[in-house]
């Protein structure tokens, strides 16, 4: 993702200032849980919080940016900051054991020792259990920050030992305004309007990924998939991009199909003057088809190869059979 700084992400300003206030007044815990997705900058907020803790000349609005500790952080080599990230799909027990050992050592800069655990929901059971003792008895001047994309996947014994930072995510309108400020929105049409690019947030993963998508050709590809699915489902025949979708693109294409099916059901459930709403049984079957599409997306992550054209045609025919 693009290397946005925390002050460029307005939805993080309030939780960041709240963390600074708490630490400045000496009210913070030794363990913090940031239930903020990386797609929203959760890992960036965790690093800003670590800088707040390690800063030697903290101000009421955050780290000074000038002290030795801040300069070491900016250079990416602060000796008292430890960052743990998943090794593959998991955070493993050896990673946590090594971290806990390091946290028992004396701080080289004479202040706190801070550990950030990114994607903490990926702690395997052994790693989570190894972390518990340190969460219960962290030692003097040791602070742990757990960033998670889905806190529900964390053990209750982990979350109960952490102070959770309150966070309210941005609305789609907030994101649209932010993208406009970054000058990333597509050009307006003849009527001076731009379409809502936030329709694909769940496909790309969040506003930071959407910004990257808009900066490249990726967003246009998603838009093309949406247009071609609409045409294909209407005619029963694959069109344009769906005839040549690659194995690297198929998950994106199916995610867009899922969004289209969901929107189809929502629109079809509304009564209009010129037509009746979709039969509830057909609605349920289209919803089930959407579920099958999502299951296939997960399955494709481990499949060595797939006939993308045949797969797309399969879903087009299934939709036609349900709705005609």
Q: Say which range, 151-155, 188-192, 262-266, has the weakest mean pLDDT.
A: 188-192
Q: Write the DSSP symbol of residue 87.
A: B
Quick one: 51 exposed, middle or buried, by C-beta within 10 A (0-12, 13-18, 19+)? buried
Q: How confident is the model at residue 305 (pLDDT cuts 50, 70, 90)?
A: confident
Please report where in the chains the tokens 């001047």 appear, as a residue: 141
- Return the exposure string of 82-115: e unless at least 16 CB atoms fall within 10 Å of the residue's CB, then b: bbbebeeeebbbebbeebbeebeeebebeebbbb
The torsion angles phi and psi of 145, rounded to 5 degrees, stand at -125, 115
Which value, in Å, is the radius of gyration of the alpha carbons in the chain?
24
Mean pLDDT score of the chain? 92
- Evaluate if residue 164 carries a pLDDT over 90: yes
Q: How confident is the model at residue 192 (pLDDT cuts 50, 70, 90)?
A: low
From CA 73, how far away is CA 119, in angstroms rounded?
A: 21
pLDDT in tens, 82-138: 999 999 889 999 999 999 999 999 999 888 999 999 999 999 999 999 999 899 888
The count of other CB atoms within 10 Å of the CB of residue 75 is 8
């Amino acid at each position: 993702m693009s290397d946005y700084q925390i002050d460029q992400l307005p939805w993080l300003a309030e939780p960041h200032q709240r963390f600074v206030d708490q630490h400045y007044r000496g009210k913070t815990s030794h363990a913090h849980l940031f239930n903020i997705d990386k797609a929203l900058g959760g890992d960036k907020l965790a690093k800003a919080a670590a800088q707040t803790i390690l800063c030697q000349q903290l101000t009421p609005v955050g780290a000074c940016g000038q002290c030795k500790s801040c300069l070491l952080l900016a250079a990416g080599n602060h000796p008292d900051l430890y960052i743990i990230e998943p090794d593959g799909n998991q955070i493993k027990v050896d990673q946590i054991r090594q971290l806990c050992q390091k946290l028992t050592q004396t701080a080289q800069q004479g202040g706190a020792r801070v550990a950030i655990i990114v994607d903490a929901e990926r702690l395997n059971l052994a790693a989570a259990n190894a972390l518990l003792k340190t969460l219960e008895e962290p030692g003097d001047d040791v602070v742990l920050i757990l960033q998670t994309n889905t806190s529900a996947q964390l053990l209750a014994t982990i979350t109960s030992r952490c102070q959770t930072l309150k966070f309210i995510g941005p609305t789609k309108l907030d994101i649209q305004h932010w993208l406009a400020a970054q000058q990333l929105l597509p050009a307006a049409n003849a009527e001076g309007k731009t379409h809502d690019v936030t329709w694909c947030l769940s496909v790309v993963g969040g506003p930071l990924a959407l910004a990257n998508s808009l900066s490249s050709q990726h967003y246009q590809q998603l838009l093309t998939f949406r247009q071609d699915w609409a045409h294909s489902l209407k005619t029963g025949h694959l069109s344009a991009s769906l005839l040549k979708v690659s194995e690297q693109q198929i998950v994106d294409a199916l995610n867009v199909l899922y969004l289209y099916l969901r929107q189809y059901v929502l629109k079809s459930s509304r009564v209009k003057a010129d037509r009746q709403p979709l039969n509830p049984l057909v609605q349920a079957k289209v919803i089930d088809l959407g579920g099958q599409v999502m299951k296939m997306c997960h399955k494709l992550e481990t499949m060595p190869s797939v006939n993308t054209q045949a797969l797309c045609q399969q879903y087009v025919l299934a939709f036609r059979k349900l709705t005609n």
